[in-house]
Amino acid sequence: MKFRDEYRDGAAARRLADAIAHTVTRPWTLMEVCGGQTHAIVRFGIDALLPPEITLVHGPGCPVCVTPEAYVDKAIEIADRAGVILCSFGDMLRVPGADGDLLAAKSRGADVRVVYSPLDAVAIARADPARQVVFFAVGFETTAPANAMAAVQARREGLTNFSMLVSHVLVPPAMRAVLEGPGNRVQGFLAAGHVCTIMGLAEYQPIAALYGVPIVATGFEPLDILEGVYLCIRQLEAGRAEVENQYSRAVTTAGNRAAQAVMAEVYRVIPRRWRGLGDIPDSGLGLSGAYADLDAERRFGAVVDGDDAAGECISGLVLRGERKPPECPAFGGRCTPERPLGVTMVSSEGACAAYYRYRGAA
């Protein structure tokens, strides 16, 4: 495919790996924040190309994985009501709540529909004005602008039967939470390139300065990731902690101003509970006062936060970069994509799913 194969060139990858090997002099642990980067690392064996001094750990970059049980439970409760159509991206259907998932709700008769765009949900509401249509809005800053535009469009059309159950989360506060965790071993970050495409780079600079960690906005192809590692290691070896932009073909310092503007109009920053990380201040987005009438929690009752169910799944440790999927005793045996014990095996962006798909059950 044009403009992709160039970033998968084997000879160029080996040259970057050699440059990293010649730069590193001591052990370093880096975290890639995005689940898409995790899948690329595992799929292409990027970690195997790196010298043994460098350890890559996987962060809370899977939006499906960090959506707490309470929001899944609320989505199920809403879907089970008569006269309601619950619209969601497909990955969310198998995410476990405290007592089942949306796929089980659909199997017992709830009208749960998979959509590929939030505007699909708006179209459903437009076509069926007698029923309430609720869009389950999840994701990081990457999906937040498009979901915000669904609210804007519904408002423009005067749709009174459309609402959103919003569980958006923000990446920088999660990075701070990882760095402040008692089990933290992260010394540098490969920041999620698509999030930086929307938000730019400025919000990472205080993190790099305060915690003394380099942060490199990084793309998703093998050469992107290897160059991101090289830039990060070069900073660490020089004793620097700055924000750099590897993904310059998509990321600018300022980000996407139009996307930021619609987010500022539709959302407000709120505390959010993350599955695996707990409560993080100022880490979520809820609907602003101007769009409060489109808030599904106002129409159907507020989400009641509770502790996520404990079990043998170690997905919380995986999301914090403290463990890798094969370190879980259930991985590949009692826990598979067909019989998942936790969210990191359910989601297509989950770290456990990546290891199982590309490296098998062993």
What domains sit in the chain, N to C, each tagged with a CATH number? 64-170+255-300 (3.40.50.11740)
What pLDDT sits at residue 348? 81
Which residues neighbour 233 within 8 Å (Cβ) at sequence distance 6 or greater? 20, 23, 24, 28, 30, 54, 188
* pLDDT tens track for 116-140: 999 999 999 999 999 999 999 999 9
For 233-249, write each residue's pLDDT tens digit: 999 999 999 999 999 99
For residues 68 and 226, is the Cβ–Cβ distance under 8 A? no
- What is the distance between the alpha carbons of residues 6 and 319, in angstroms, rounded to a whole number? 31
Share the mean pLDDT of the chain. Answer: 94
Determine which of 32-36, 174-178, 233-237, 275-279 has the lowest per-residue pLDDT on average: 275-279
CA distances to 71, 205, 248, 328, 359 from 145, in Å: 20, 23, 21, 36, 35
Tell me which DSSP letter residue 295 carries. B
Single pTM value for the model: 0.93
pLDDT of 362: 62
How far apart CA 178 and CA 192 sit, in angstroms, is 15
Query: Nearest-5° angle of CA 58, CA 62, CA 68?
Result: 115
pLDDT (tens digit per residue) in 336-346: 988 888 889 98
Residue 308: per-residue pLDDT: 62
Direct distance between the N- and C-terminal alpha carbons of the chain, in angstroms, rounded to an integer: 32
CA 226, 228, 231 angle in degrees (round to 5)? 110
pLDDT at position 1 is: 45
> Model confidence over 40-55: pLDDT tens digits?
999 999 999 999 999 9
Confidence of residue 310 (pLDDT cuts 50, 70, 90): low
Maximum CA extent, the chain: 66
